Structure 1
Amino acid sequence: MSDFVDRKYRAVTAFQRRMNPVLRRLPLQTVLETTGRVSGLPRQTPVGGRRVGNSFWLVSEYGERSQYVRNIQANPRVQVRILGRWHTGTAHLLPDDDPRARLKQLPRMNGMAVRALGAQLLTVRVDLDG
């Protein structure tokens, strides 16, 4: 990973560590809950994405370097809070999907932020139960 990308990653994650506790408390903020791969505790991450039928789509800014992606690799069972309601499901990492094209199908503001801040984009699909 280039030095620029590494510095960008550190800056973005430092900012997110401060903002995420605030954002996940907002009632209409979409939140992805994974199980911590080391602690086994629930980990909530504010995300942007879109529900399409029985799937929820999002794009990770830093791919497999993102903590929630690492948690998904260890345990793909997740919950997603969409419009204030929790849904259980199974997350799938889609390295063969074109994340830039996928961002065009997701909310515009989120897509702009992910493109601006991200470096190793990775598409994630959550198949929602029932």
Structure 2
Amino acid sequence: MSRHHETKFRVVTKLQRWVVNPVSRLLPFQTLLETTGRKSGLPRRTPVGGRRVGREFWIVSEYGEKSQYVRNIQANPSVRVRDKGRWHHGTAHLLHKDDARTRLKSLPRMNSAAVRAFGTNLLTVRVDLTD
């Protein structure tokens, strides 16, 4: 990762972790991805912008495998997604060969613009919903 991308990553992730995410998690209809912490074993809820298509939920991670929720998925792919105020269980899959930039065109516009602007290593995540 270039020095510019590393600085961008550090600034944006600190802002998200300490300001944006805590506020977003409180909003009743914010989409959330709940993973299990790979070290703590505790539930970790991350605001995400994605879209449900049938029995699948699609997300694009802006930092790929550097994203904490992606690292948690690698350790345990069982997740929950809160979409439109309802929780759904599922299994997450990291799709390294999917064209994440093209995928963003089918996801919510505002979030996709932010992911494109701040992201440095885009990675598509598909959650197969089981309920």
Task: Return 5+ residue gaps in structure 1 as ranges.
Answer: none
- Is 1:40 aligned to residue 52 of structure 2? no
TM-score by length of structure 1 reads 0.99
CA–CA separation in structure 2 for the residues paired with 1:121 and 1:12: 15
Q: Does 1:11 align with 2:28?
A: no
The offset of 1:102, in angstroms, is 0.0
Q: Distance in 2 between matches of 1:64 and 1:50?
A: 20
Indicate the SS of the match to 1:37: coil
Could you list the runs of 4 or more consecutive aligned residues of structure 1 that deviate by over 3 angstroms after TM superposition?
none
- Taking structure 2 as the reference length, the TM-score comes to 0.98
Structure 2 equivalent of residue 57 of structure 1: 58
Q: Which structure 2 segments of 5+ residues have no match?
A: none
Query: Partner of 1:71 in structure 2?
Result: 72
Matched, 1:113 2:95: no
Give 2:32's aligned amino acid.
Answer: V
Task: Give 1:21 deviation, angstroms.
Answer: 1.1
Number of aligned residue pairs = 130
SS at match of 2:26: coil
Query: Could you say which residue in structure 1 is the equivalent of 2:92?
Result: 91
Percent identity reads: 71
Q: Distance in 1 between matches of 2:59 and 2:121?
A: 14
Letter in structure 1 aligned against 2:4: F
Report the counterpart of residue 123 of structure 2 in structure 1: 122
Return the offset for 1:25. Answer: 1.1
Q: Which amino acid aligns with 1:48?
A: G
